[in-house]
Homo-oligomer: A and B are copies of this chain.
Amino acid sequence: MRMSKGRLIVFSAPSGCGKGTMLAEILKDENYCVSVSATTRSPREGEVDGVNYYFMSKGDFLQRVADSEFLEYAEYCDNYYGTLMSEVDGKLNEGKNVILEIEVQGALKIREKRPDALMIFILPPSVSELRRRLKKRGTETDEVIEQRVSQAAREIEVASKYDYAIVNDALEDAISDFFAVMRAEKLKTQFSENTINEVLKNA
């Protein structure tokens, strides 16, 4: 079978929805990878250029912004972070599905630039369960937890703009949901023109 291009996947979830655990599970499948971001912040101990981030100067970063080389970028704590188009397309052309882990506003911008992106939102079973999970961590004050919960609720309101919403209640089910989505997407006729043409060959 001919190798086909990978799929660009936008993956968003409010804090506390278990996105990290889900991603770790998905990345065990070698057909998936995450996109390495570019940043202007300094490398920390042990961080490797091209693995953790592409480290670059502010001048270099802004030149690339001017040259429209970024799929999206944002400023955070006086540094820039962004996704290079070349990084994403390189991996897609290798046949990998590229996961962009990104917050809601950035995700919606990507949708505009890349209507072929597959947008997946991870939901908690309920907002009250999310509050319970955040409290269980015990790392934040009640006030901070309430801020996170409100933030999560605002993000969830945008979930309907994504293609799919997966509830992460039991991890195993959420992972099966994800792979069912990927399997079904491949069967969509808009992506299987090649299959149809192959079937018709030598008719």
- Binary B-proximity of A156-167 (CB < 8 A = 1, otherwise 0): 110111111111
| Residue of B with least CB distance to A179 | B180
| Residue of B with least CB distance to A125 | B199
| Residue of B with least CB distance to A198 | B126
| Residue of B with least CB distance to A178 | B187
Which bracket fits the contact residues of A?
35 or more
CB interface residues, A 75-132, toward B, < 8 Å: 121, 123-128
| Residue of B with least CB distance to A159 | B196
Is the CB–CB distance between B184 and A164 below 8 Å? yes
Give the shortest distance, in Å, between A127 (CB) and chain B (any CB): 4
CB interface residues, A 130-189, toward B, < 8 Å: 149-150, 153, 156-157, 159-167, 176-177, 179-181, 183-185, 187-189
| Residue of B with least CB distance to A127 | B203
A202 at interface by CB-CB < 8 Å: yes
Interchain CB contact (< 8 A) of A185 among B126, B153, B162, B184:
B184
Is the CB–CB distance between A165 and B192 below 8 Å? yes
Interchain CB contact (< 8 A) of A196 among B156, B195, B199:
B156
Is the CB–CB distance between B167 and A189 below 8 Å? no
A127 proximity list for chain B (CB < 8 A): 199-203
A202–B126 CA distance with the chains assembled, in angstroms? 8
A193 at interface by CB-CB < 8 Å: yes
Is the CB–CB distance between B157 and A195 below 8 Å? no
Give the shortest distance, in Å, between A198 (CB) and chain B (any CB): 7
Is the CB–CB distance between B202 and A153 below 8 Å? no
Is the CB–CB distance between B161 and A200 below 8 Å? no
Q: Please name 14 further chain A to chain B contacts, defined as beta carbons within 8 Å, in addition to the given A126-B201, A167-B199, sorted by A numbering.
A: A123-B196, A123-B199, A126-B199, A127-B202, A149-B203, A160-B189, A160-B193, A160-B196, A165-B189, A165-B195, A177-B187, A179-B180, A180-B183, A181-B183
